[in-house]
Amino acid sequence: MSKSTSDPSPVIQKVAEKDISSAVAIAGHPIHAMAVHFPIALAIATLGADVFYWWSADPFWLRAGLWSAGFAFAFGVAAGLVGTAELLIVEGIRSRAASWTHAIAAMMFLSIIGLNWGVRLADPEAVLPLGLALSVLGAVFTGLAGWHGGKLILHHGVGIMVSDDQ
Ligand code: HEM
């Protein structure tokens, strides 16, 4: 599927003509869009665990934060690999600057949550204040990368495949 545009620029018109259908999908549903909910939810859960630890000093929240940070990173890397495949395979996706902006925001997010997990693995007590600060930063970058990913789909129409039934 390509997108029509009323933009007078021939460059924009050429970009709009390129295919933007998802290449990594199950029955027309892009896998990346299905996978990103996990790292987003787990990054926010890590922040929640850190706030509860700060508030209660209950070591249960140290363990909860360690596991949620680890799985946020693992699921984030998996989702990022699928997103990278879309970016590199689909011509209309890789020729849009917005796709690369999203990829950069997402890589920043992955670096922050990876560091957040590593810091806890090395020293569980490092949650206050370093882990908590990284969790706040991770939540901010989850928001930035997630909002921008939504913009790719809802604004640019990337990955959308309208079925022939419509
Ligand atoms: C690291 C490399 C990444 C690349 C190259 C990438 C690329 C893309 C692309 C091409 C789309 C459009 C949909 C599709 O074609 O599947 C998209 C959507 C999206 N991405 Fe990423 N992505 C990456 C990582 C991430 C990560 C780690 C997150 C988590 C915060 C994320 C969050 C989203 C969201 C929320 C959407 C919109 C999904 C929807 O509205 O259903 N992306 N991404």
- 4 belongs to a structural domain: no
Whole-angstrom distance, CA of residue 162 vs CA of residue 166: 7
* Residue 46, domain member (yes or no): yes
The pair of three-digit structure tokens given for residue 107, joined into one six-digit string:
């890589």
Residue with the two structure tokens 């029509």: 4
> Domain range for residue 23?
10-154
**142 domain-assigned:** yes
In the 8-state DSSP scheme, what is residue 29? E
DSSP helix/strand/coil, 129 = coil
Does residue 135 fall inside a structural domain? yes
- What atom of ligand 1 comes closest to residue 93's alpha carbon? 10
In the chain, the number of structural domains is: 1
Does residue 122 fall inside a structural domain? yes
24 Cα nearest atom in ligand 1: 16
What pLDDT is stored for residue 121 in this prediction? 97
Q: How confident is the model at residue 2 (pLDDT cuts 50, 70, 90)?
A: low
Query: With 90 as the cut, is the pLDDT of residue 47 above it?
Result: yes
Domain contains 15: yes
pLDDT digits (tens, 9 = 90+) for 139-152: 999 999 999 999 99
Nearest CA, atom 22, ligand 1: 83
Domain assignment of residue 159, yes or no: no
80 assigned to some structural domain? yes
Classify each residue of 23-34 as buried b or exposed e, where b means 16 or more C-beta atoms within 10 Å of its C-beta. bbbeeeebbbbe
